[in-house]
Amino acid sequence: MLKSFFRTLTPVALAAGLVAASSAASATTTADVAFLPALTDSFSFFGVTISASGASTYVNNTFSAATSDLAAGGSQLAWDPTAALTFTIAGNGAMTFDGLVYNNTTSSVTGDIHFVNGTIKYDFNGVTVFSVSPLTPAFSTLTTGGAVSGAFALSSAGLGNVTKTLGITVPIPTQNVGTLTFTATAPAPVPEPSTWALLMIGLMGVAATKVARRQG
C-alpha cells in the first residue's frame, strides 16, 4: 500500500515542485532617460541646468533611476519615488519632476511637477512629460529580462500648460530629444518553502520506492 502511494505521489510532487520553482519573481528594472546633447545645449542657452536628486543620477546627459518591478502582463512602470529629475532655471527657481510613470498603452511618461521660486510654489499633478515612440523589442520582454528602448519627445501639451501658468518662456522642442531605455534583470528562481516541501516529498517517494524494490 505504501509503495503504491509513493509511486503515485512521486511524479505529482516532483512536477508540482519543479513548476513552482521555475516561476520567478518579476524582473528588477532600471530606467535611463538619455537626453540629446543638443537639448541640454539649447536649455543652457536659456539658463536651464539639469540635475538629479534622491536615488537617481545624472551623468553625460543621462538621468538614471530604479523603477518598480514589472508584473507579468503589466502595462506600466513607475520610477522609484525617491528619485527626482530637477531642472534649475536661472533666475526662475527650480522645477522638479517626480512620480514618473511610463504607460505602454499610451506610450507616454507622466509625472508630478513641483515648482519653487523663493516663496512661490506650484504643484502640477499627472502632467504628460514625454511622448515615447514604440519600444523595441516588445515591452513584455522586460518580464523575463532584457532591454527595450524608444525615442522620446517633450510633451508640448503637458509642459506647455505648466510653463504658461508659470510665465516662463522656454522653447519646448517637438522633435525627439532623447532615448528612453528600460533594462530588466530577471532574478534566479527561488523555491518557496511549500515548493521545498513538495520536492522533499518527491525525493522521499523516490527513496522509498527504491527501498521497496530492493526488499521486494
| Confidence label for 212 from pLDDT (cuts 50, 70 and 90) | low
Among 78-82, 111-115, 155-159, top mean pLDDT goes to 111-115
DSSP code, position 141: G
> What is the three-class DSSP state of 126?
strand
Angle between helix axes 2-22 and 193-215 (nearest 10 degrees) is 150
pLDDT of residue 210: 53
Identify the CA nearest to 35 among candidates 44, 27, 26: 44
Task: Tell me the three cell numbers of residue 194.
Answer: 511549500
Task: Tell me the three cell numbers of residue 170.
Answer: 522656454
| Confidence label for 91 from pLDDT (cuts 50, 70 and 90) | confident
Within 10 angstroms of residue 44's Cβ, the number of other Cβ atoms is: 12
- Residue 66 to residues 69, 72, 100, 120, 215, Cα–Cα distance (Å): 9, 18, 11, 30, 59
Q: What type of residue sits at position 91?
A: G
Q: What type of residue sits at position 143?
A: T
pLDDT of residue 23: 38
DSSP code, position 216: -
The Cα 35–Cα 65 span in angstroms is: 14
Within 10 angstroms of residue 158's Cβ, the number of other Cβ atoms is: 21
pLDDT of residue 153: 94
Identify the CA nearest to 181 among candidates 82, 92, 74, 77: 77
The Cα 90–Cα 72 span in angstroms is: 43
Name the least confident of 30-44, 109-123, 160-174. Answer: 160-174
Gyration radius from the chain CA atoms: 26
pLDDT of residue 39: 85
Say yes or no to pLDDT of 17 above 50.
no
Average pLDDT over residues 30-54: 89
pLDDT of residue 190: 60
pLDDT of residue 174: 80
Question: What length is written for the chain?
Answer: 216
Say yes or no to pLDDT of 147 above 90.
yes
Per the model's pLDDT, the better-predicted residue between 71 and 24 turns out to be 71
> What is the three-class DSSP state of 21?
helix
Q: Write out pLDDT tens, residues 92-145.
A: 889 899 999 999 999 999 999 999 999 999 999 999 999 999 999 999 999 889
| Confidence label for 204 from pLDDT (cuts 50, 70 and 90) | low
Per the model's pLDDT, the better-predicted residue between 127 and 55 turns out to be 127
Q: Write out pLDDT tens, residues 177-191.
A: 999 999 998 776 666
